[in-house]
């Protein structure tokens, strides 16, 4: 019982963050909330007892992807 | 002339494919449920069933995946122009410079721990490699501002490690073939599976973990650094 309550809560929050990524005004805010999205997905994986996937998602989703987009944003923003 | 040699090669490959297809498991064998999770501890000695599948039952697929990483790294390193390394327009402030100094050892140790304990705890070669590459990228990004590039490992060493790790992966495969007739074999090669849960258990799985971890770490570092610093 506790399991699907926490998963439902996390998924609801995931949905909120996903919507915010789309409607965020500044691109940087969207990128950071994508990092938050990855962390929440990691939390869902941990709750569903898939630790390998959780570790991989945390490292790649929050770590590399966010870094990629931030650096890309900096390189493409006009000085 | 070229057309005939091409046709010849194709026919040879088709014949070989025919032989391989004839050895596919029959309908009955395929119906029998193969449950890796239950047998994985007995067969491979790896407590973490995921790394047992990754590096023993499906080690050949992992070899393919490692090849994908090495080809991507080659292509990106080749395409990204090395001319001007205007990294970030902004110069890193003092806090960042000294903060990263404190942060880097912990990230590297964390990556190594995940890699070395791959067959016991969750994670494994690939995840540990990604963490290591994150630490390499963090160092390169923060400390190479304004054209002066500084790396944890010089790009040439990166590429050398990548190739050495790739040949090591193949060497483990051929060792398996030499010792027991099956490419990338693990338990059959006679290397002790050790007591489950100890660091040196599960035959060649920790070895393959470290090798693929190095490959992913160095490969991703090459990709990201050549993209960021171009």
Which structural domain range is residue B74 located in? 2-229
DSSP at B45? -
**Given an 8 Å threshold on Cβ–Cβ distance, is B134 in contact with A54?**
no
**pLDDT reported for residue B12:** 93
First to last CA, chain B: 44
**pLDDT higher than threshold 60 for residue B5:** yes
- Most confident residue range from B25-29, B81-85, B197-201: B197-201
**pLDDT higher than threshold 80 for residue A21:** yes
- Residues of B with CB below 8 A from A51's CB? 121-123
**Given an 8 Å threshold on Cβ–Cβ distance, is A64 in contact with B141?**
no
**Given an 8 Å threshold on Cβ–Cβ distance, is B114 in contact with A79?**
no
Query: Percent of chain A at pLDDT above 70?
Result: 96
Distance from the A16 Cα atom to the nearest Cα atom in chain B, whole angstroms: 28
**pLDDT higher than threshold 80 for residue A31:** yes
Q: d(Cα A49, Cα B102) in Å, to the nearest integer?
A: 32
**pLDDT reported for residue A33:** 93
Nearest CA in chain A to B48: A52
**pLDDT reported for residue A38:** 93
A32-36, B7-11, B111-115, B144-148: which has the minimum mean pLDDT? Answer: B144-148
Residue of higher predicted confidence among B94 and B148 = B94
Is the ipTM of this structure higher than 0.90? Answer: no
When pLDDT is averaged across residues A23-39 and rounded to a whole number, the result is 92
Q: d(Cα B55, Cα B41) in Å, to the nearest integer?
A: 13
**pLDDT reported for residue A20:** 93
**pLDDT reported for residue B30:** 62
Nearest CA in chain A to B225: A68
Nearest to B125 by CA among B53, B187, B221, B206: B206
**pLDDT reported for residue B134:** 86
Q: What are the Cα distances from residue B120, in Å, to B106, B124, B192? A: 21, 9, 16
All residues at 6 or more sequence positions from B136 whose CB lies less than 8 Å from its CB, including other chains: B151, B152, B153, B217, B221, B225
Q: Are A17 and A31 in contact (CB under 8 A)?
A: no
**pLDDT higher than threshold 70 for residue A7:** yes
Q: Which two tokens stand for residue A51?
A: 């630790």
Nearest CA in chain A to B138: A67
**pLDDT reported for residue B88:** 54
Query: Percent of chain B at pLDDT above 90?
Result: 4
CB pairs under 8 A between A and B: 45
**pLDDT higher than threshold 80 for residue B151:** no
DSSP at B189? G
Please, which pLDDT band fits residue A43 given cuts at 50, 70 and 90?
very high
Instruction: Pick left, alpha or beta for residue A49 (phi over 0 → left; psi -120 to 50 → alpha; otherwise beta).
Output: left
Q: Are B209 and B124 in contact (CB under 8 A)?
A: yes
Nearest CA in chain A to B114: A55
**pLDDT higher than threshold 90 for residue B196:** no
Nearest to B188 by CA among B44, B72, B69, B79: B44
**pLDDT higher than threshold 80 for residue B192:** no
When pLDDT is averaged across residues B185-189 and rounded to a whole number, the result is 71
- Residues of B with CB below 8 A from A63's CB? 130-131, 134
> What residue has token string 């790009």?
B155
**pLDDT reported for residue A16:** 93
Residue B47: CB atoms within 10 A of its CB come to 18
**pLDDT reported for residue B169:** 82
Q: d(Cα B113, Cα B168) in Å, to the nearest integer?
A: 21
**Given an 8 Å threshold on Cβ–Cβ distance, is A67 in contact with B88?**
no
- Residues of B with CB below 8 A from A55's CB? 114, 122-123, 127
- Residues of A with CB below 8 A from B122's CB? 51-52, 54-55
Q: Which two tokens stand for residue B84?
A: 């001007």
Domain count, chain B: 1
When pLDDT is averaged across residues B157-164 and rounded to a whole number, the result is 80
**Given an 8 Å threshold on Cβ–Cβ distance, is B130 in contact with A52?**
no
Indicate the burial class of B3 (C-beta count within 10 angstroms; 0-12, 13-18, 19 or more).
exposed
pLDDT digits (tens, 9 = 90+) for B167-184: 888 888 788 777 777 777
């Amino acid at each position: 019982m506790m399991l699907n309550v926490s998963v439902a809560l996390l998924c609801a929050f995931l949905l909120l963050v996903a919507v915010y990524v789309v409607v965020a005004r500044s691109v940087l805010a969207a990128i950071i909330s994508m990092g938050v999205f990855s962390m929440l997905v990691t939390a869902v994986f941990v709750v569903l007892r898939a630790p390998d996937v959780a570790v991989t998602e945390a490292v790649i989703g929050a770590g590399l992807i966010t870094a990629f987009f931030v650096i890309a944003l900096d390189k493409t923003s006009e000085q | 002339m070229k057309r005939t040699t091409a046709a010849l090669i194709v026919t040879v490959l088709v014949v070989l494919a025919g032989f391989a297809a004839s050895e596919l498991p029959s309908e009955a064998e395929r119906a029998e449920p193969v449950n890796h999770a239950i047998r994985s501890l007995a067969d491979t000695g790896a407590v973490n069933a995921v790394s047992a599948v990754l590096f023993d039952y499906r080690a050949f697929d992992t070899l393919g995946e490692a090849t994908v990483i090495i080809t991507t790294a080659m292509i990106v390193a080749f395409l990204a122009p090395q001319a001007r390394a205007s990294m970030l327009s902004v110069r890193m402030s003092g806090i960042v410079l000294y903060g990263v100094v404190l942060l880097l050892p912990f990230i590297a140790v964390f990556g190594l721990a995940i890699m070395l304990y791959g067959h016991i705890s969750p994670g494994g070669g690939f995840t540990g490699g990604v963490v290591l590459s994150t630490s390499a990228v963090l160092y390169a990004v923060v400390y190479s501002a304004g054209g002066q590039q500084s790396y944890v490992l010089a790009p040439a060493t990166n590429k050398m490690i990548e190739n050495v790790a790739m040949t090591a992966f193949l060497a483990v495969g051929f060792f398996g073939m030499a010792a027991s007739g099956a490419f990338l074999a693990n338990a059959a090669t006679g290397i002790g599976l050790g007591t489950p849960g100890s660091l040196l258990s599960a035959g060649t799985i920790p070895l393959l973990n470290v090798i693929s971890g190095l490959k992913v770490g160095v490969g991703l570092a090459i990709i990201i650094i050549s993209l960021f610093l171009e």
